[in-house]
Amino acid sequence: MYKINNHIKLKMKKSILKILNVVAFSLVTLTLTNCGSEDPIIIVDPMSDVITRLNSGMMEGNLDESYTLNSSTIYSLTSSFIIESGVTLTIPAGTNIQAVNGGTSVYIAVLKGGKIDIQGTESSPVYMSSASGNSGDWGGLTICGDATTTAGIDAEAEVGGFIYGGTNDADDSGSINYLIIKGTGAQINADSQYNGVSLYAVGSGTSISNVAVIDGSDDGIEFFGGTVSATNLFLENNEDDSIDWTEGWNGTVNNAYISHTIAGFSTVFEGDKDNGNPKFNNITAISTVGGTGLQFKKESGATITGLSLTGYDVSIDMKDDGALTNVLIDGAVADPSLSYTNTAIVTAADFTWVNSSVSITTLPLQGTIAGKVTLDPSILYVLSSSYIVQAGGELVIPAGTKIQAESGGTDVYIAVLKGGKIDVQGTVDNPVVISSSSALGGDWGGLTICGDATTSAGVDAEAEVGGFIYGGANDTDNSGSIKYLVIKGTGAQINADSQYNGISLYAVGSGTIIENVSVINGSDDGVEFFGGTVSISNIYLENNEDDAVDWTEGWNGTVTNTYISHTVAGFSTAFEGDKDNGNPQFVNLTAISTVGGTGLQFKKTSGATITNIWLEGYDDNIDMKDGGALSNVQIDGADASTTADYKTGTKVDVSGWTWKSAGL
């Protein structure tokens, strides 16, 4: 009986080269047997790096075996992702692919002989976009087929140098249904750009329906020869041509809605070169900025029925003086003197599934970040699971961005791993808000950042949350910048002894900037420092149910301007210091309770230096929990006292902190 390693996936479809590699390796291990018997152990080819990355939510490299994406994962497209001949990529309904803003190096391509199966639905379309959705961010989707094109057999595409074209007009490159693409059109050179969707000699066996291309720097969709048809296209603010074709394409487009609200685009249609006489049925195009409607170059043409053009300066442009008879509109030869402002058969209301630049409101947020991802402040992001910034990755959150965390407990959090960065760019008028919808303590897991600074836990210690690795020898380590951030409803329970905090800072270094931060309604600590050297200025902590500020493992940064409010009974402390004393500094501390409780608690040998203190309403101001020396705690130049009033300082004035309680 053969023995197969259960931890390795058997890949049935591999190249001859890989099979030979397996055989060669097997010959080297001829002496291996199974449990003393004469039965050989089968050597199984391990998963490819591309599959391994896909399993972790990253798309890059050449896919050489068929694969189905997971609709619950947000995939990060960090480079080119190429589906090779003989391979099918299946993309289920609701899948979200987020392209890094990498220009021409970031795209999806289906090679001749390969297939893509996009299974979106009206209620759950597939979404491909950069995080910001800005035109030119990435390269879009390219499909190469085996149908005829005037460019010939095995022609070379202007994008990627891919090979396309053959003699099979019924060629099948797969199926696309309910797909939204945004932010494409990266510039290749002075003459070429990527399109939203590029179709190179794609055959009529390919099914394309319900596709939206929004905010592209070049064409929305372009046909390079081939016979493929498309139904239900929504094309908005593509900066060159909404629909472009060349090389004798002779398919059909049924039902297209085209919108232009940005000046300077090229055309609604651009036909070029040989006339394959493609068909267009029910086309509505609306411009608020003038421009040209339908343009035909050289001998190109088309047969169009149900055309409605509104707002264009020029309806028909025969660019190279081609024959008007090449273009038939509603049964008659095209007439440039006509505006073709007819009653629209197709309207925007027919595309309720499209999250256009006008109607888009929410997007899911989950998965991993390996490159740089910038969120869009006009979108409400729903944090439905973990969102992890890996080493080398960076998450940029512009001013005014709102992230709604689902009430998923410990499964819902944002983490920046050691070597990763976060850049929260809130302002006093537009803070960044991360909160559950109810903002109740324990709803979700909060923000965790892991750095490379020193901690008494050692190098590459393991965090109690997520098992993340942290700690090193670089006290000036930089994990990014956080400005004007409001966090609500954190503190999900991990186990009997551990909970997430509002913000957990694991060995974060002094190169990290944190200022103007508010943590409200957390079931555990507001902010906790696990070693490190990071400092904070202007921090507001309200009704965090354990400690407002907690530190351990020798943290030795500085907090300037701390305001703590307790109005719910049963919390632990305003401060809790534990373990080794790194002597952190606190400048301007105000903590006020209306429900008694303990103010500042120091465990073991911990301590701090505090300047300008105001404690009000606590039953006990100072608690040396384990009998540590009061001299470890210096308050306004003297040893801490368990009998002092500590209402001698000046309160931190938060009347101007108008951002501190911002909500979703």
pLDDT digits (tens, 9 = 90+) for 347-385: 888 999 985 443 445 666 777 787 788 887 877 888 888
Q: Which of 350, 374, 403 is the last residue of a domain?
A: 350
pLDDT (tens digit per residue) in 205-219: 999 999 999 999 999
For residues 306 and 424, membership in a common domain is answered with: no
For residues 531 and 576, membership in a common domain is answered with: no
Distance from the Cα of residue 82 to its chain's centroid: 20
In-domain check, residue 87: yes
For residues 401 and 516, membership in a common domain is answered with: yes
**pLDDT band (50, 70, 90) for residue 259:** very high
Task: Compute the distance between CA of residue 448 and CA of residue 499 in angstroms, rounded to an integer.
Answer: 12
For residues 540 and 409, membership in a common domain is answered with: yes
Residues 659 and 426: beta-carbon distance below 8 Å = yes
In-domain check, residue 663: no
For residues 490 and 581, membership in a common domain is answered with: no
SS3 169: coil
Which has more confidence, 443 or 104?
A: 443
Q: Which of 287, 315, 350 is the last residue of a domain?
A: 350
For 72, the token pair is 């619950």
Does 31 score more than 90 pLDDT? no
Residues 365 and 74: beta-carbon distance below 8 Å = yes
- Neighbouring residues of 637: CB distance < 8 A, sequence distance ≥ 6: none
pLDDT (tens digit per residue) in 614-640: 999 999 999 999 999 999 999 999 999
Q: Which residue in this structure is represented by tokens 């705690």?
A: 633
Q: Kindly report the backbone phi and psi dihedral angles of residue 365, in degrees, each rounded to the nearest multiple of 5, phi listed first.
A: -130, 110
**38 burial via Cβ count (<10 Å: 0-12, 13-18, 19+):** exposed
Which has more confidence, 38 or 584?
A: 584
Residues 210 and 242: beta-carbon distance below 8 Å = no
Cα–Cα distances (Å) from 542 to 501, 530, 549, in that order, read 13, 21, 11
Does 10 score more than 50 pLDDT? no
Instruction: Give the pLDDT score at 158.
Output: 83
In-domain check, residue 579: yes
For residues 69 and 208, membership in a common domain is answered with: yes
Looking at residue 181, its amino acid is: I
In-domain check, residue 546: yes
**pLDDT band (50, 70, 90) for residue 139:** very high
Does 246 score more than 80 pLDDT? yes
Instruction: Give the pLDDT score at 500.
Output: 83
Instruction: Give the pLDDT score at 375.
Output: 83
Q: Which of 308, 327, 350 is the last residue of a domain?
A: 350
In-domain check, residue 253: yes
Domain coverage including residue 486: 362-556
For residues 320 and 456, membership in a common domain is answered with: no
For residues 594 and 646, membership in a common domain is answered with: yes
Q: For the chain, what is the radius of gyration of the CA atoms? A: 31
For residues 403 and 456, membership in a common domain is answered with: yes
**pLDDT band (50, 70, 90) for residue 119:** very high
In-domain check, residue 7: yes
Instruction: Give the pLDDT score at 495.
Output: 64
Instruction: Give the pLDDT score at 498.
Output: 65
In-domain check, residue 598: yes
For residues 310 and 368, membership in a common domain is answered with: no
Q: Which residue in this structure is represented by tokens 């009529």?
A: 204
CB atoms near residue 655 (< 10 Å): 5
Instruction: Give the pLDDT score at 186.
Output: 76
pLDDT (tens digit per residue) in 552-575: 999 999 999 999 999 999 999 999
Instruction: Give the pLDDT score at 366.
Output: 74
Which has more confidence, 191 or 155?
A: 155
**pLDDT band (50, 70, 90) for residue 20:** very low
For residues 525 and 407, membership in a common domain is answered with: yes
pLDDT average, residue stretch 596-609: 97
Does 465 score more than 90 pLDDT? no
pLDDT (tens digit per residue) in 442-459: 999 999 999 999 999 999
Instruction: Give the pLDDT score at 355.
Output: 59
Kindly provide the b/e burial profile for residues 454-464, where b requires at least 16 CB atoms within 10 angstroms of the residue's own CB: bbbbeeebebb
The 8-class DSSP code of residue 206 comes to S
Which has more confidence, 350 or 21?
A: 350
In-domain check, residue 121: yes
Q: What is the domain count for the chain?
A: 4
User: Minimal CA–CA distance to 114: which of 50, 66, 72?
Assistant: 66
Longest dimension (CA), the chain: 99
For residues 402 and 479, membership in a common domain is answered with: yes
